[in-house]
Structures are given as structure tokens and as C-alpha cells.
Structure 1
Amino acid sequence: MPSYYITPDLLIYLFDMVGVVACAIAGTLLAQHKGFDIAGCILVSMANAIGGGTIRDVIIDRHPLFWMTDLNYIIVITITSLVLQIFFHLYHKIDTALKFFDAIGLAAFSVIGLKVALSQGVAPAIAVLMAVCTAIVGGMVRDIICNEIPLVLQREIYITASVIGSCCYFVMQAIGIEPGINDLLTLAIIFFIRILALIFDWHLPSIRLVD
């Protein structure tokens, strides 16, 4: 009988594409809302979708860059952005839609960043940092281009979700959970922490010194 087992490499690739599509949607939503033209929306969606992974690969000296050897990334981002621009009028609640797709991208890219960094033999602490880098840099670039204050600088439970999920990955690995299941659970943990933070308006406290 034929085997339909999904290999770890294929699973990681699927996670990557999920994150790319989600971030391309988030980037296009914001750019379209700001009145960017067709090319501008595609540019913002690309910065959002591949910006974090690009910086990650540069830091850990992973060459060539992932999107330079696989044109599927550029194709998927471009098609996603174009389709969304055509049907943009269906998204009435821009803020809700943006944050939902941003949460998907945060979770998927955190897992990708963690796995890629570990495959390069870095220490666990550095792998967590690379998970955060992969997850947040693209969104920061998107917000800066669109003249918005980046979400990660607004007391949002954002970086925290990535760090908690990444640490949970190592805990689950230590107790012997199968790698594929571990990846899915890590993704779910990060996504639901972010969504719950949005639903219940959780924020990190700020430190203010009283004169």
C-alpha cells in the first residue's frame, strides 16, 4: 500500500508556506488600507513574508537565502497579494483580519525559525532568538513602511508568545514527544497565546519610575 507519511522536511516546508500566505495577507491588508498601489502592496507583502527569514539566514550564515533557491515563495506571495487586492472589499474589519493573519504568521514562522536554527547546530537559547527574529522582523518592516508603530513595540503579547512556545518545544522534546507532533503543538501554543491575548486584552506591564 502507498505511504502518505509526511516527512519532517515537508512538514517544515508546509509550515513555511502557511506563514508566507498569512503574512502576505497581513501585509497586503495593511498596505491596501493605506492606499498603496498594486506594486506597493506586493512589496509590503514580500517584506512581511520573507523579511524575518532573510535576516535569520544572514545572522546564522545560512546560504543561499531560502527564497533565492525556491521561486515558490515569490510566486505564492505575489498571487496571494493580487487575489487579496481584488477581493479587499470583503474585509470590512481590517484590524481584526490583520491581527488574525498576523497571529498565524507569528506561530508558523516561530516554529520555522526554531527548526532552521537548530538544523544549523546553534544552542537552544540562540534558536529561540532566531524563532523570534523570523517571526517579528517582517512585521516590523511592514509596519515601518506603512508608517505604523510596530505591534511588537505596543506592549502586545507578541514576542512573549514566540518565546513561550519555543521554550515549550524544548520541554516537549525532553519528555519524548514525536518531532512532528511537537511542531504542531508548538505552533498551536504560540497561536492561541496570541489570540487569547487579543481576546482578553492582555498586555505586558511597562516600568515607569515615579519622581
Structure 2
Amino acid sequence: MLPHTPEWLPAIAPWLDLAGLVVFAASGALAAARRGQTMVTLCFFALVTGVGGGTVRDLLIGAPVFWIHDSRAAAACLAVAFAVWLTPVRWWRGAALDWFDAVGLAAYAVFGAAKAIGFGVPPVPAALMGVVTACVGGIIRDVLAGEPSIIMRPEIYVTAAALASGSYVALGLLGVPLPVAAGIAAVAGFSLRAAALRWKLALPAYRKGEAG
């Protein structure tokens, strides 16, 4: 069994949380900025994208919703929205944000799984909570922006989050020290997402067989 309170979590959690929060808030603000929206809309997109996954996770595991009890989370999202609003659009072109997003995805997946374990969630649901933490904010962003959701595209994204959270849980069950497990899992998730970005990797799509 994994310990219910990973000792490393209080020390490293703020950094994992901030990495995911800032990157996803930026992606939300950019989704609004690229559509020529107002500052208010940028702030809204940044907030729901940044805290969306963590909010759903906390509600499911019975934890206090993190950003309601810590104003720094919402403040960080709003600060990111203002930064996007004030900077030239050319700064955000290209694949740079995708690479930052890959870092945030891996960090948030590991953090979400670790927090779920800290609240006594069994291993398999805890790994799924890591995926929820890393992916739900992006799903909300895509729905609000009118784009095809990330879960409806074949590119490797959710799979990378699942690799990160699942690896963390599995390594912990095998007795690997949890800080080491967290580092290995985050690197594994990031590496898979990076490979998908570099070589355009995608999962095979379902193809219905011919009738008869």
C-alpha cells in the first residue's frame, strides 16, 4: 500500500502545482486572445483552464477545493492573463507553449495522483485523479472556445498524463521512494508528450469494419 501522506508532498507540491497552474492558465488566456476577446474573457479562460482539473479532483476525493482556500492560485491565473494581454502576439507563436504545456501536464498528473493518495484514495482511482487534474482544465477550455476537445483528437496527450500518474502510483507500490517515483513519473510523462510533439505521434483511430 502507498502511504496516505507522502512526506515529500508538502515540500514539492507548491512547485508542481504552480507549474501546471501557470502553463494551463496561459493556454486558456491564449485561446481567448487568439479570438480577439476582451481582458475579462482572457481572465475567465485563464482561471477555468488553470483550476478546472484540480477543482474536479478535489470535489471527487472530498478535499477542500484548493483555489477557494488559497488566493494565490486565482491570483496566479489572473496575473498570467494580464501578461498575455500585455505582450505581443508574436511572442506566443510557434511550439513554445506546447513544450511548456508538456511540462505542466506531467507535473500536474503526478501532483494529482499524489494528492489523491494523500486523501486515502486507492491506487487505480488515484492514478485516474492524476489524469483528471492534468486534462480537465484543457477540456473545459476547448469546449468554451468551440474547438474539438483534446480527448477527441488522436494526438498523444491524455496518454502522457496517464503514463505520469500511473507510473507514480505503480512505482510507489513497488517500494520506490516517493520523491524518486515522482521524478521518474514526471520525466516519463513529459518524454512521451515531447516525443508526440517532435514526431507527430498519435494513437490509432477506431475503424469500423465493413458490414456483412
Same fold? TM cut 0.5: yes
Aligned residues: 204
Q: Give the aligned partner of residue 117 of structure 2.
A: 118
Give the whole-Å Cα distance in 2 for the aligned partners of 1:58 and 1:149. 26
Q: Retained in 2: the 8 A contact 1:109–1:131?
A: yes
Q: 2:12 aligns to what SS in structure 1?
A: helix
The answer as to 2:9 corresponding to 1:8 is yes
Q: How does 1:20-99 map to 2 (within 5 A)?
A: 20-63=21-64, 65-91=65-91, 93-94=93-94, 96-99=95-98
Alpha-carbon distance in 1 for matches of 2:10, 2:92 = 37
How far 1:174 sits from its partner (Å)? 4.1
Q: Would you say the 8 A contact 1:23–1:105 is kept in 2? A: yes
Counterparts of 1:88 and 1:189, CA distance in 2: 33
**Cα distance between partner residues in 2 of 1:55 and 1:156:** 23
Measure the CA separation in 1 of the matches of 2:107 and 2:131.
11
**Cα displacement string for residues 106-147 of structure 1 (whole angstroms, at most 9, x for unaligned residues):** 112101110111011111100011111111110011111111
Q: Percent identity?
A: 29
SS for the counterpart of 1:91 is: helix
Contact 1:27 1:48 in 2 (8 A): yes
Bigger shift: residues 122-131 or 182-191: 182-191
CA 1:109 to 1:92, structure 2 compared with 1: closer, same or farther past 3 Å? closer
Task: Report the counterpart of residue 203 of structure 1 in structure 2.
Answer: 202
Q: Residue type matched to 1:102 in 2?
A: D
- 8 Å Cα contact 1:25/1:80 also seen in 2: yes
User: In 2 relative to 1, CA 35–16 (structure 1 residues): closer, same or farther, beyond 3 Å?
Assistant: same
Q: Separation in 2 of the partners of 1:167 and 1:154? A: 21
Q: Which residue of 2 aligns with 1:179?
A: 178
| 1:3 aligned residue | none
CA displacement, residues 61-118 of structure 1 (integer Å, 9 cap, x when unaligned): 212x110111000111111110122113232525x23422322221121011101110
8 A contact 2:163–2:185 mirrored in 1: no
CA distance in 2, matches of 1:120, 1:98: 32
1:42 Cα offset (Å): 0.9
What is the CA distance between 1:7 and its match in structure 2?
A: 5.2
Question: Where do 5+ consecutive residues of structure 1 fail to align?
Answer: 1-5
CA 1:59–1:71: 2 relative to 1, 3 Å? same
Alpha-carbon separation, structure 2, partners of 1:20 and 1:184: 18
Structure 1 Cα separation of the partners of residues 45 and 92 of structure 2 = 20
